[in-house]
Structure 1
Amino acid sequence: MVMSPEVQYLTIHGHRRAFVKMGQGPAVLLLHGLGCDHTTWLPVIRALARRYTVIAPDLLGHGRSAKPRADYSVGGYANGMRDLLTVLGVDKVTVVGHSLGGGVAMQFGYQFPERTERMILVAPGGLGPEVSPAIRAITLPGSGHALSVLTLPGVRHLGRAGLRTLAASGLSKARDLDEVAEILESFKDPQARAAIRHVVRAVVDWRGQVVTMVDRAYLTQAMPMLVIWGAQDSVIPVRHAGVAAQIAPGATVEVIRNAGHFPHKDHPQRFVKIVNDFIRTTEPAAYHRGRWRNLLKNGKQTPLPAAVASLQAEDIA
């Protein structure tokens, strides 16, 4: 049996931060999605650690990290990652973000370009408004009470069993439900539920995602970017990968067939190969203040491409 990496702890700004750190070499920062924690990366951490120093934190409000009443915006998370890396003595990273973590990764690259060598986005938020109705529902009045009922012992156990049964059915729309079952289990902690509501309301309203990188996509001219998506993603539609391809023409886009919202768990070997090849074949971004200033002065907001709505996974691939 393969042992899980040791979880370490640091207290920063009075809040405990849990993280895993493994390997040697260039630093790679792995940022998990909403309601998850560092364990979402367990299928790929050891393989990546053969070449890199891998740092996989539990974001504030998640996993074993503290769950205070705090700033749960993507900007606040980016600041927290800068502070964690600073305490660990890590100056520059290739930042890898999944789902919510993808939004944090984009924000990190935007706020701290001098510390970002590459950006790898895995089914990220921030490329379009569409998102799962279940996530939108968390923004509605009364969602806190509904979550507390759903996480009562008997209800929670039945819900998990039902979700796992659907996930095992083979239906493409249900393939991510086993992960949803694990997230539901984490909501039994009232502090975790409160933190998740704060996180969701910072990035989503009843109409969908409100935080976007589309208006700053021109900045990717100065930074290598890879986008990875599962063709059967039922949380954030794969057509958002088409948005990435159009607003950041220099980006590499990989759509993994027979994968859902968690391609790093559905096909870990394929995922690691894609990441290794991308890092091996790209030069790390070299921050130059004059170039960054010129990009900011001359950059223009990129409109969301109208044709993207009709794109399918096959078209993007």
Structure 2
Amino acid sequence: MSEHEVQYVTVHGHRRAFVRAGSGPALLLLHGLGCDHTTWTPVIDRLARHHTVIAPDLLGHGRSDKPRADYSVGGYANGMRDLLTVLGVDRVTVVGHSFGGGVAMQFAYQFPERTERLLLVASGGLGPEVSPAIRAITAPGFHQVMGALTLPGVRHAGVIGLKALRATGLKATRDLDEVATIYDSFADPQTRTAIRHVVRAVVDWRGQVVTMADRAYLTDAMPMAVVWGADDRVIPARHAENAAFLAPKARVEILPDAGHFPHKDHPERFARIVHDFVRTTQPAVYSRARWRSLLRSGDQGAVTAPLGLVEGAAGA
């Protein structure tokens, strides 16, 4: 596992950070809420053996700028299209983790002509349930409370405590190293503000409000795979069953002994899943006529979504 050079490009006046490695069919790796490209560090080199890997820091995250901007999933999808255009990459297999899964789905929906495949990892948008800790970000006073909790002495003790719990090896603590990194990043007021805008766009007090339930039929025109950790405590693994229901042609992999970050818990296996998915599927070929036909007939299938997803759609 090597360090990866972070590169920068300015799009619409905002600096975007990204890592690029390898050669071959392009993979766009989209991280989750509060994370950055480093969440993919355990798999970048493995994936780069066969692919061109592009792992950006989404706007408001990591080393990318954190302006007052559009932090909706649609806005992020637009940003990824523009980044790929600047980098000279025309078509990609989009791999999205958690919130990045929602962005990946939106990218595939908005830009099917640029999407070869869709791979979701413990993704948002497949059911309303989400960790109470994420819902808390939408609460009044979050910015001020987190400001107090990230004062130098308090933050230092908190990060050490989270990492110490992770070191116990208990299943319930397996994701706390990533949580510690996110918590540490909240010391930056711009980061806290950006993350609050992101969460308010996709979560309310009832849970997730963005859903793929009403557009899942469009995956008939595009290969799709879903990977989940069986012990995920952020977004329940049963949401993978929702994906299988909504997109019966999708491949579904539930990894045992893995939490919300299965690509970090089992990087070698995850890389094999991605490589096999790309190797054994044909990239989607965009046809305006086929897309039109799916859109015209799609309203007949949307009403059969599971109850939980229908409720999520109503919230949206």
Instruction: Find out whether 1:61 has 2:70 as its counterpart.
Output: no
Structure 1 position 79, deviation (Å): 0.1
Specify the SS of the correspondent of 2:214. helix
Residue identity opposite 1:282 in structure 2: T
| Residue 197 of structure 2: aligned partner | 198
C-alpha separation between the residues in 2 aligned to 1:69 and 1:304? Answer: 36
Structure 1 position 141, deviation (Å): 0.6
| Residue 311 of structure 1: aligned partner | none
Structure 1 position 157, deviation (Å): 1.4
Structure 1 position 170, deviation (Å): 3.0
Structure 1 position 172, deviation (Å): 1.9
Structure 1 position 155, deviation (Å): 1.2
2:128/2:308 contact within 8 Å kept: no
Residue identity opposite 2:129 in structure 1: E
C-alpha separation between the residues in 1 aligned to 2:130 and 2:41? Answer: 25
Specify the SS of the correspondent of 1:215. coil
The count of corresponding residues between Structure 1 and Structure 2 is: 307
Question: How do 1:180-259 and structure 2 match up within 5 A?
Answer: 180-259=179-258
| Residue 305 of structure 1: aligned partner | 306
Any gaps of 5 or more consecutive residues in structure 2?
310-316
Deviations 1:91-125 (A, max 9, x none): 10000000010000000000000000000000000
C-alpha separation between the residues in 2 aligned to 1:173 and 1:243? Answer: 24
Deviations 1:47-94 (A, max 9, x none): 111111110000000000000000000000000000000011111000
| Residue 138 of structure 1: aligned partner | 137
Instruction: Find out whether 1:275 has 2:278 as its counterpart.
Output: no
**Identical columns (%):** 73
| Residue 161 of structure 1: aligned partner | 160
Residue identity opposite 1:181 in structure 2: A
Structure 1 position 232, deviation (Å): 0.5
| Residue 315 of structure 1: aligned partner | none
Residue identity opposite 1:304 in structure 2: A
Residue identity opposite 1:195 in structure 2: A
| Residue 83 of structure 1: aligned partner | 82
Specify the SS of the correspondent of 1:214. coil
C-alpha separation between the residues in 2 aligned to 1:19 and 1:125? Answer: 22
- Indicate the RMSD between aligned Cα atoms, in angstroms: 1.2
| Residue 312 of structure 2: aligned partner | none
Residue identity opposite 2:231 in structure 1: Q
Specify the SS of the correspondent of 2:55. strand
Specify the SS of the correspondent of 1:18. strand
C-alpha separation between the residues in 2 aligned to 1:41 and 1:302? Answer: 36
C-alpha separation between the residues in 1 aligned to 2:129 and 2:308? Answer: 15
1:215/1:303 contact within 8 Å kept: no
Distance verdict in 2 for CA 1:302–1:265, change over 3 Å: farther
1:236/1:261 contact within 8 Å kept: yes
Structure 1 position 160, deviation (Å): 1.3
1:227/1:241 contact within 8 Å kept: yes
| Residue 119 of structure 1: aligned partner | 118
Deviations 1:242-265 (A, max 9, x none): 100111100000000000000000
- TM-score by structure 2 length? 0.95
Q: Segments of 4+ in structure 1 off by > 3 A?
A: none
- TM-score by structure 1 length? 0.95
| Residue 23 of structure 1: aligned partner | 22
C-alpha separation between the residues in 1 aligned to 2:304 and 2:136? Answer: 27
